[in-house]
Homo-oligomer: A and B are copies of this chain.
Amino acid sequence: MAGYLRDDLSDDEIDRQAALYGPLAASVRELVDAVIRTEADDEEIRTARAEIEAITERLRKQQADGPFGVRFNGEGRGRAWGNAVVGLRNAVAPPLQMQHEPSGRAWADFHLGAAYEGPPGLVHGGVAALILDQVLGEAAGAGGKPGMTGTLTLRYRRGTPLGDLHVEAHIDRVDGIKTYAVGHISDAEGVTVEADGVFILPKWARKAIADNESAAAPSRFE
């Protein structure tokens, strides 16, 4: 699959780019929050819009034709910088800073603000699903059993308040190309949403692994 691009950047160059783009995206996340909450006067709003459009125009003078994709260097270090949950350069992503264990576990502590609201003051039920899909998939990949989501089931125990949250997932069992993962989101009071999912290794990745094209067979389908 063309989108998994091996570009052989050095680790130092990747660190340098992360230090450049990470703070840029973080500044946009703050702007997203401010646009939801601002009570500035109309003139201020119009001025902000014009300035934002001018910045965007300058950034777009040189830009990639399409989405970021997932890029790897020669050491297999992956960058899913456009990913909607963990993407360093994606202001839609909170972004989650994932932790992994090779036993097939993944977890993160994170914060959700005004941009992730559904019912008043609560995390959008679909945002909880978005995050759990990513983390269950990362647990599968961490255990060496990656796949794309086949099915995903969410059970909402109660509303998840906006604020500081925790998410974790682990591999429950593996059956051939299917990896079964389970997980949940919790706040300080306990579990709010539970999830289980089946993650399936796509045909093209099975072929790449069989052909020993390791660079074409990513450890996670972020």
A221 to chain B: which residues have CB within 8 Å? 118-119
Q: Cα distance A90–B113 when bound, in Å?
A: 11
Q: How large is the interface on A (under 10, 10 to 19, 20 to 34, 35 or more residues)?
A: 35 or more
Check B32 against A32 for contact (C-beta < 8 Å). Answer: yes
Asked if A152 contacts B133 (CB within 8 A), the reply is no
CB distance from A95 to the nearest CB of B (A): 12
Q: Is the CB of B151 within 8 A of A32?
A: no
Kindly list chain B residues whose C-beta atoms are within 8 Å of the C-beta of A20. 42, 45-46
What's the number of copies of this chain in the assembled complex? 2
Distance in Å: Cβ of A121 to nearest Cβ of chain B = 5
A149 / chain B contacts, CB cutoff of 8 Å: 125-126, 154, 156
Q: Does A31 contact B (CB under 8 A)?
A: yes
Residues of A near any B CB (own CB < 8 A): 1-5, 20-21, 23-25, 27-28, 30-32, 34-40, 42, 44-46, 48-49, 51-53, 55-56, 58-64, 66-70, 81-85, 87, 89-92, 113-122, 124-127, 129-134, 137, 148-156, 159, 162, 221-222
Chain B residue nearest in CB terms to A194: B151
Task: Return the chain B residue nearest A94 by Cβ.
Answer: B92
Judging by beta carbons under 8 Å apart, are B159 and A124 in contact? no
Cross-interface CB contact of A24 among B3, B5, B48, cutoff 8 Å: B48
Specify which of A24, A120, A137 lies most central, judged by the most chain B CB atoms within 10 Å of its CB.
A120
Cβ B130 vs Cβ A126 within 8 A: yes
A133 interface neighbour in B81, B89, B124, Cβ under 8 Å: B124
Output the least CB separation between A139 and chain B (Å): 14
